[in-house]
Amino acid sequence: MKAKTDWIAIFITILLIVVAREIAMALTKLMGQPELGNLFGLGLLLIVLVIWRNFKPLSHRMIDANALIMKESAFAFLPISAGAIVMLVAMGAQIPLFLLVLVVSTLLPMWLYAKISKRWL
């Protein structure tokens, strides 16, 4: 039997993510660097949740909703991947440098996330 979806927890989790991003976008626009808004928003959300976790545990409903959102959002990257393959054909001699940047920028954050998760979860 399929588990019931907790739509309220999903909505609140998405709302929290959107609010953190919008606050970060407003702050980075004030600093003259609006392109850093998404990255700053992720950092802001991480800091808020780490501080929250020091005083009170995170809700299991929120953790489950986040897991569901992350699982379902994987399909959003399929069009991006197809576009990247088309772009690789046009890059020619720059492919090795591009792949190096791609590997480093992917593996380093994943390694760091794994270390943080192993320590705190």
Contact (Cβ atoms closer than 8 angstroms) between residue 34 and residue 89: no
pLDDT at 104: 87
pLDDT at 5: 83
Higher pLDDT, 54 or 71: 54
Mean pLDDT of 69-75: 78
Q: 12: Cβ–Cβ under 8 A, 6 or more apart, which residues?
A: 62, 65
Residue ranges of domains in the chain: 7-120
pLDDT at 90: 80
pLDDT at 121: 67
DSSP 8-52: HHHHHHHHHHHHHHHHHHHHHHHTT-GGGHHHHHHHHHHHHHHHH
pLDDT at 1 over 70: no
**In 49-59, which positions are buried (b, 16+ CB within 10 angstroms) versus exposed (e)?**
eeeeeeeeeee
pTM beyond 0.85: the answer is no
pLDDT in tens, 12-62: 999 998 999 999 999 999 999 888 888 899 899 999 999 999 999 989 999
**Dist CA 49 CA 79 (whole Å):** 31
Mean pLDDT of 55-78: 84
Q: What percent of the chain has pLDDT over 90?
A: 31
